[in-house]
């Protein structure tokens, strides 16, 4: 069982091509990382998988455990176990964290079923404790007035509560100091499971010091151009993307 991306092409709404034939497979039980220069299409890939309306898929396929994902709405993708943690999490004024997550979970239940409030808060508090989040955050509006680190921890909290089959984290390490990075990494590592695949999108090796990937991919000019083990990230940290200038990859 895996998330398969097959010859995926996508453009902006104005027709500007961004993804130019992405091929990638993320099996359940594995953590994959994508690195690459700015503008290579990394964030676009995450948003296309999630169904962002600003992009138009012009060719290719995304299969979630063998089922076509691109035919589903954003809501259906979420209900079926796709989760995207944004690089810049949005604020939702007037909606508390606790109610926001509870509503998302309630939407997945069959009509007429209700979430058990005691079990819900027990699970929520356990995960907040792991992420070292003050329980007062349950009553605060989603991300409103949060620091960068608090927003990222809140994204991980949402992912932990929603328990997706595939989690995609778009530059979750962006703007984090080392202490916040370690806490976020602890939450992500707690999500590792034989029943879940994780995709990390990052510019920096430092995230991968704390979340050890099974496979590292390099993306450039809208394609995956190289894949390898965790050592590939160390090579990129040392040498950068000079190899992309080689004629074979031009």
Indicate if the pLDDT at residue 33 is higher than 90.
yes
Q: Read off the pLDDT of residues 63-75 as tens digits, 9 standing for 90 and up.
A: 999 999 999 999 9
- pLDDT (average), residues 43-55: 93
Q: Read off the pLDDT of residues 108-137 as tens digits, 9 standing for 90 and up.
A: 888 888 999 999 999 999 999 999 999 999
C-alpha torsion sign, points 90, 101, 189, 215: negative
The angle subtended at Cα 198 by Cα 192 and Cα 204, nearest 5°, is: 105
Angstrom distance (rounded) from CA 9 to CA 120: 40
Six token digits for residue 50 = 């999630």
Q: Where are the domains of the chain?
A: 2-88+163-249
Indicate if the pLDDT at residue 249 is higher than 90.
no
Q: What percent of the chain has pLDDT over 90?
A: 72
Q: Which CATH architecture has domain 2-88+163-249?
A: 3-Layer(aba) Sandwich (3.40)
Task: Specify the 3-state DSSP secondary structure of 233.
Answer: helix
Give me the DSSP letters along 41-99. Answer: SHHHHHHHHHT-TTEEEEEEEEEETTEESTTS-HHHHHHTTEEEE-SSPPPEEEEEHHH
């Amino acid at each position: 069982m895996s998330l398969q991306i097959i010859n995926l092409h996508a453009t902006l709404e104005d027709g500007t091509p961004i993804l130019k034939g992405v091929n990638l497979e993320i099996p359940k039980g594995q953590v994959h990382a994508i690195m690459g220069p700015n503008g290579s299409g990394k964030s676009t890939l995450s948003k296309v998988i999630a169904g962002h309306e600003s992009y138009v898929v012009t060719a290719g396929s995304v299969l979630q455990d063998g089922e076509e994902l691109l035919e589903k709405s954003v809501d259906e993708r979420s209900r079926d176990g796709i989760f995207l943690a944004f690089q810049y999490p949005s604020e939702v004024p007037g909606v508390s964290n606790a109610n926001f997550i509870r509503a998302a979970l309630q939407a997945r239940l069959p009509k007429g079923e209700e979430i058990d409030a005691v079990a819900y808060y027990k699970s929520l508090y356990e995960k907040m404790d792991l992420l070292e989040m003050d329980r007062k955050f349950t009553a605060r509006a989603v991300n409103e007035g949060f620091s960068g680190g608090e927003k990222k921890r809140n994204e991980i909290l949402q992912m932990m509560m929603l328990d997706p089959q595939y989690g995609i984290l778009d530059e979750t390490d962006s703007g984090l100091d080392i202490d916040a990075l370690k806490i976020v990494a602890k939450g992500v590592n707690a999500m590792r499971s034989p029943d879940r695949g994780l995709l990390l999108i990052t510019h920096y090796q430092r995230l991968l010091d704390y979340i050890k990937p099974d496979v590292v991919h390099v993306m450039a000019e809208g394609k995956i151009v190289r894949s390898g083990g965790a050592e590939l990230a160390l090579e990129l940290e040392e040498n950068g993307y000079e190899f992309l200038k080689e004629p074979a990859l031009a």
